[in-house]
Structure 1
């Protein structure tokens, strides 16, 4: 039978503990795998929910005069714009004064 001295067993256990718990790269890989699996699971759950929702159908009618397709039903389009600075979208007010300096002179004769 194999006999191990208690000091050697303690050193062996300490080295094994340092090998497992002291390897920071191993723990980072484990955490990253866990994050990846969680993100994949969330995406699969969102896809399952989205695929179970019923979809809307509309009938298109061809205009005999022009030959193009029309949607006879009233519909609304949703636009997600987020935060918009409406003051920046307004055109700047400029005064229409004309000066006689050389920079703003016109080239017409």
Structure 2
């Protein structure tokens, strides 16, 4: 029969407490682990909901007057323009110089 003394139990508990509270990053890692676990759970639920949703179906109606198919629903179409240069063509005044240097700033307002 194994005899457990109260002194051994107390020393064991003190060791466990020092191990848990003496390690400064322990609680941060535990919190991060639970946060990551909840995030993974949430993302899997969102993926399951996205999979379970039925496909979107839109009705096309043939217009005999214009001989075209028309969509009753409002929709947006993406238009790719290719390489577009959006640089602004501003006139640059060469005579003015702007600096953020406090030593060279003038004292007059």
Task: Say which structure is richer in helix.
Answer: 1
Question: What is the TM-score when the length of structure 1 is the normalising length?
Answer: 0.47
Question: What is the TM-score when the length of structure 2 is the normalising length?
Answer: 0.47
